[in-house]
Structure 1
Amino acid sequence: MLVAIGGAAFIHRSAQPSFCTSCHLMQPYYDSWASSSHNEVSCIECHYAPGIKAEAMGKLQAANQVVKYFTGTYGMKPWAEIEDAACLRSGCHIEDELVGELDFLGVLFNHNEHLGELRRGKQLRCTSCHSQIVQGDHLAVTKGTCFLCHFKERPEGEPLAGCTGCHRDPPRLVSDVGLVVDHPQYIQDLVSCESCHEQVISGLGEAEEPRCFNCHNELERIEQWTNSTRMHEIHISERNVECQQCHKPIDHRIQTLHVESELDCGSCHEGAHEVQQRMYAGVGGHGVEERPDPMFAAQVACKGCHELSRSIDAHATVTEAGEASCMSCHGVRYANILPAWQEGMARRVTTVGRLLRDVRSASGAAPVRSRVQVDSLVRLAADNIEFVERGKGAHNVQYADDLLRASVTILQEAIRIGRLPVTNANPDLGPRVTDSSCVACHLGVERSTTVYGGEEFSHGAHVLAGAMACSECHTSFDDHGGTKLAGISSCVDCHHSPIGPKNCAQCHQGPSGVPVETISHPTGDFSHNAHRTGDIQCSDCHIPPSMSTEALDCMSCHEQHHTPEVACLACHRDGALADHDAANHNVACIECHDPPADGINRWTRQVCASCHQTSLIDHYEPEACENCHQVPTMGEATRSLPPIPRDPDPPPP
């Protein structure tokens, strides 16, 4: 009997709110309840769902908590789950009260729209919004729950239900300085809310794995935290866990602007640096694979290089990148790298841009059926070139080089399809950046000239014409900047080696290294091609080590100088004509140059008679003309000169 009476007394006593304060951890919660609108409602009416079964289960849980308290095994964080049925029990909140709209801090709210159906795929409970999150306010509405649902993972300026979904009828206001803010008129005129109310959202509302450990320590449960659907079913629909227990908060309020406020430039200036970002990341081009810059792959942010401050418009500053930025991390050996990138990319853009202009100019000649395809290809190439130009190829020289070479390939395809009359469709872009780790840094070095061993050294002749790799002369990266050559004598291995048919082409332009242009000599014009056609090798005339032909005499090969079947001008071209007066250009060479002579080296009566035949008949023969007449120096172009006055008594014939 005593046990029954004592048990009944304990059950009654434990149902009183004051009993809850027996545990010192409950005092803050008790105080917030005592000062709330629910202070006339017993704790168990909310914490126990209606029904004998729920109340019996609650008593068992309470007894378990008492045992844990006295044994010291209780947790430091009280936990309770309030069922919706407890809120809707008889005498409390009836379902009819949930119908219709109510005003909550100026926002029209409808319970049925939130509890009657899934919201964003989640079943909300009463305690999803009415919880103990707000310290000191028992069961106060947690605005953070509203913000999490309406703003999380939503595009900027596009909250769930839109701005007017909550702020349905914003009032007409007058500001402190007398400015009229006519919200109804703005809505009617479709003025965007973001025009005035920007930066009204802070926080992302992300749920992070470490928060799981506040309640759980089982790894198999923790591993499921990425399953968003399952997590919300368990924690919201089944266990009534408040959203903020897992999610970081999102705040939504109008921000007051101050002088020092940083405005959101991106709200108007969208994509100001998007092209540079895509270039740095190595994405967005046509006809190329993605290729992020090594610095991007190393997680180097823009400010890692753009650290040099520069004033603009005398009132603001920007941060630039320069050589000092490179050297601050990589040392002095990275001097001149950035200027080389900038100059090299500018030169390549100009080169490919010239081909683009030629193709555009000729595209009108394409057949009608292929003109659309040609125009499409031209646009793709133009996009790549503009990408490199605006994105600044120095942000990613390897990717920029790929883009320009892809543009050349695309334009060549347009030339082929449209059969366009473009002559130079293979512009010289130099060595491919991705083929050489040296060129990736030292862009443009292939065209530079330096001094080695006291002699001028052209990289172009060796790298571009000779197709030599940097490693043939330079040391590896570990010994960066050195040469493997013993000195100027090492050059002899290439330059003074036995000459073969292909050696000349490594350095000299033209088919097989044979110059196309004619070379003028005092005795005539020399054609390399004519002699190579005659199966004469370069080494027959160009003999190491000097390779000079100054000591050569044409007559050493051309023994049969004057033969009837060979015209003089076949060899003696413009250079020979320039040595003669224009009046004699139509005179046959043999009139003055008798075979087998190879030239005229002195004046004779025979030479003069080739022109002055009539006047020389019986004219003091056989006296030499120069005995009486003034004659020019041999080899000079002349005109007729007056004779020197003769003696009155010339010598007898």
Structure 2
Amino acid sequence: MSEKKVKKPRNWKKIGLISGAGLVLFVLLFAGSVHYTSKPSFCRTCHYMESFYQSWKESSHSNVTCTDCHYPPGLKYKLRGKMEGLVQVVKYTTHAYRKSKPWAEIPDESCLRSGCHQRQLLEGKGEEEFKGVHFSHKPHLTQLRRGKKLRCTSCHSQIVQGSHMVVTENTCFVCHFKKGEKYEEHSECRLCHTDARMLANSQAGTLRYDHTMVIENKMNCQECHSETISGDGAVLKEQCFVCHFENERLARFNDTDFLHKTHITDHKVECFQCHLPIEHKISHRDIEAVSDCKTCHEHTHVPQKDLLAGIGGKGVESKPNPMFEIGLNCRGCHILHGYSTNELEEVTYKADPQACEKCHGKGFGNLMKQWETITEAKINRLEKWYQTVRTKTRTGDRQTEIDELLAAAEFNIDLVKQGKSVHNVSYADALLNTAYDNMSTALQLAGSTYQLPASFKETSQKVPSDCAACHASLPVNEVNIWGISFSHERHVVKHDLPCQKCHSNMRQHGELILNRKKCLNCHHQEQKEKTCKDCHEEADAFFYGTTTLVADAEPDLMAEVLDCYSCHSGKGGKIVRPSGQTCIDCHDDGYDELLEEWQGNIQTLLSEITTLRKQVNVKALNESQKKQLTRIDQKIAAVDQDGSSGMHNYFLIDSMLTQVKEELQALQPSS
């Protein structure tokens, strides 16, 4: 009988220890790998993730791990992330990743998890500011926007490589400006550009133009800013095949609600992947953005558009009108149109000084008239000189050069004449000055002794560069100030006084900072050839009864025994404005009160006359009445220029104004 082998008992304790140690080691390794593979640094192991890693590292999310955003909170999604991570490793190892761009969807739950973007955003608590626009997340994420439910990533994305989860403006523009058949676009300007914001920016000086007056007058933004939206956000069927290859997919192409739910609500598909872009900006330096008339009318308003854009001149650098550079279109100034009862009849809008004053304030329209007067005078002078220069330069060895210079001069003159200087007064002035220079050069080349007057360019050269955009030249006509006729040309050109001597832009544009006293520092010095009458013509005419405005005018009672210095001479021979005390120095007490009474009477009369004058309907007057009204205006202006409120000849001025009042009452429109 064979001997049976005896089995040794197993060392279960040893096995248990080894198994336990292995299990612990496995758990540790698994936990470690889970932790390590969750770190952003592990993601960059795949080289194609390097750019995404760098954009994350430099962003405000650099303290948040990749998995916290890419997967919702919870163990289920944690394990799902690990499984998808393994798939990515396989793709990287097999180079399958090269066939498509990395794709990821960020669920809203990740954004709104505890410790991140709290849900008070959805409760409307607090607003965000994006490029000056105040924005609330609540209506965008809790309500349907034009029939669509948005996600966080509908606006926050990584379309631009290197920018991590930033707001993409194109998404805003597609939603707000895309025209649809079912849902109205939210394109009202003040939805984003609120009055409060525009007012604050205007006061802070961060805008190129102070919009305070725009807000006060409740002006429509489109009056100045047109063509601010380009593109229609259309969706082409061809775009579908970028992702899909089945023709059946196109069966629901026109079902926009289904498409948006599938691509936006259920999945993160960028708007630009389907929609053509929409741009929202002020159109700069594109004259065709102002008008598309050329579709039917070729070469329409070419001189006007060239002047506005500051182009087209011969030998002159481009200089656009400042209003053109900020996007002002034709309708900003051409505000008036002819009346028509036929809705289909063509209407042409015309410019009017009222358009200037609507934005720039009362009185600015006078500047437009000044531009027209000055430019017309310059063009007339240049056209006369051109004919003379053409005659005197017909022969010469350098005839080709002369002809080119004169052709360029003629073109520039014609460009301003047809284009109207009001479209760009500074550029128009440069064109006319260049035409002047060309004619002068042509005379020199021809060896002619004839010279053009040098004063033509002097006024332009004296205007400071920061004023030249509007004040390209000095006013041709004299203006009235303190009852004195004032010539800009005499003071600026002949006496070389700078504009800043009298005007300042510190507190108010063009504010007159020079007072009458400072004028007298020059004008009341001892000048033997000067008399008071040279500057104070109306005052002299009333005082001595030589005015032609009143028949058989009598001089003032004091004219025989007094002259100007009797009342206007102060201590040390200083010229002063007399007061009631001046009267008492020669007359009895009470004459100071009489002075106040007389002046009060004249001022009351002038106030009543001013009101009556405004009420006169000039268009309803016949020719005789219009001539009468002209004489009335001359009398009112004379009293204003006199500046003494009647004291240079009270009885004469009182009688004249009383008659003016009666005549104006007779001219009032019948009720």
TM-score norm. by structure 2 comes to 0.38
The structure where helix makes up a greater share of residues is 2
Compare relative contact order (CA 8 Å, sep 6+) and give the higher one, 1 or 2. Answer: 2
| Structure ID, larger Rg | 1
Q: TM-score under structure 1 normalisation?
A: 0.39
